[in-house]
Structure 1
Amino acid sequence: MATGPTTPLSHIDLQTLTSLFSQFNQMQQNSNRANLSPILDPTSHYYLHPGESPGTPLIASILNLNNYHTWETSMSRALRGKNKIKCIDGSLPKPPSDDPLFEAWERCNMYVGDIFCITAKQEDMSITDYFTKMKGIWEGLDNFKPVPSCESCHETCKCGLGIMRGYRQDTRMVRFLRGLSDQFTTVR
């Protein structure tokens, strides 16, 4: 009777076996991730953790006329940490409404869009200083969430981006007027 092991695995050393198991696990993880919905995949830009909602602040500081640079640094770090920077910088395009990811994109867009609500008041600044501060904030926000340039429209915009720019200008004008001091009540 033989006293040694007779299985084919007896000739494989432990390091080779560990390597095979590691490769198998990696293949299994890749297979599972490929079948996982982007809404449920924590590595996806479309994933929203249950604790993330439009009412939950992403960072502690609130953007005002005096703290743009520190706010921008904190916000950029927070968006990168939440894997949402592509939702802001335009590199995650809006899918067509019939795309299965459209709803997920809308949720993420709503989540990150609420971050950029600004409350600013003129207070004791001159109207020129107030406008200059607001313009600086708007330019900084344009770096976060730019409206893309029309590439196919030459004379007049036909793709809708011009309308988006108009909406943005209207929103900014309303915010500017609402922030004016009480002496400009009739202008508002």
Structure 2
Amino acid sequence: MAYTSNNNNVIPIIDPSQDPTSPYYVHPSDNPGMKLVSLKFDGNSYADCKRSLLLNLIAKNKIGFVDGFIIKSPLNDATYKTCDQYNSMMNYWILKVLDQDIARSVLYYTTTRDIWVNLEERFGQASGTTLYEIKQSLNEIKQANDNISGFYTKIKMLWDQFDSVDSVPVCNCTNCNCGLTTKLMKSKEDGRVIDFLMKLNEGYEMLRGSILIMSPLPSISHVYRLIVQEENHKKIYQGSQGNPDQPMAFAANRRFTQDRFKQQFSRKSQGSDPRKRTSSFYCEHCKIPGHNVQRC
């Protein structure tokens, strides 16, 4: 830590590499061997890899090295050494995420910003093939054997991928109050609500009809909660109807009742009146003597 004087007051100059709020701060856990993302990027699912990297860099306060906000310091600048150190470390972090062939293609770029721009130009641009693949997957996906949570996770991943390559246009007019972007977002969400309901298995017809008559349609997150509640209700109902212990309990209760009636009849039949010791009545329904079917 260095010091400078101002009007006879000594003011400490904090080294940016020791200031936790500085993008040049070097955390003790930061090292070239660190893996920001567990999976290797091989040219597929660039949007997922990009999002994972951005989240890690934002958390480390290093996003400025990627978006161009932080430029390389000149040689005579006090931050040059620290900036160059972290820039080289971040280059290595990104290279560890890339497949070997892709890593070789960006190995000799000087700054992290140069590597990022090159990857964005090569893999980040939306193409007709990418849109076609995502739309085809959305058309073919069904709930099938998945529960509601698993199915929603799958279809939402496809929606997120589609948004990454075909985002909703934003109005940039000065002092604009037309709400065009909000209307477009609502239209897209309504379409996804209908798409989600269409791909559910049989058994949700009543709830689906109740949702579709709502005006305006609820959000997709609200629809998801309603469907999950309906799924849980079905599980509880089916569990109570298909309880294998119920028939056994019923049979055991019936045997207990039969034995009790037999004991009562046996005691009555041993009375003093000989005419009451036997009976011609026998119930074919419960197999207990002493009464007929009409009195069972």
TM-score scaled to structure 1, two decimals?
0.46
Higher RCO (CA 8 Å, separation ≥ 6 residues): 1
TM-score (norm 2): 0.30
Structure whose alpha-carbon radius of gyration is higher: 2
